[in-house]
Amino acid sequence: MNLNQRTFKISDLYYAAFLKTAGFNLVDIEKSENSNQKFFVFDDTNGLIKKTQTEYVNGVSKVAAKDLIDNIRALKTLTNMR
């Protein structure tokens, strides 16, 4: 991973699926050294994840439901493979 690249790391599968559906690029999935917990690492070069997070929490953001469900399934599969 490029050290100059701004990234955003989270462990919440559903929020990660939301970010992916909202158009953010998933850069990596990291495994915690101390547990089985997985972290989703997203590219935040443009710095828009904080704004998107606020919209998500306030319930004003919109994504296609089918795409969200597809991304939840895809991320579950990826986390089980690693």
pLDDT in single tens digits along all 82 residues of the chain: 444 579 999 999 999 999 999 999 999 999 988 888 999 999 999 999 999 999 999 999 999 999 999 999 999 999 988 6
**Residue 44: inside a domain:** yes
Which residues constitute the domain of residue 59?
Answer: 7-81
pLDDT at 33: 87
**Residue 1: inside a domain:** no
- Residue 29 near residue 78 (C-beta atoms within 8 A): yes
- Distance, in Å, from the CA atom of 40 to the CA atom of 78, rounded to the nearest integer, reads 10
Number of domains observed in the structure of the chain: 1
pLDDT at 1: 44
**Residue 25: inside a domain:** yes
**Residue 39: inside a domain:** yes
Contacts of 69 (CB under 8 A, 6+ apart): none
- Distance, in Å, from the CA atom of 67 to the CA atom of 50, rounded to the nearest integer, reads 21
**Residue 2: inside a domain:** no
Cβ count near 22 (within 10 Å)? 19
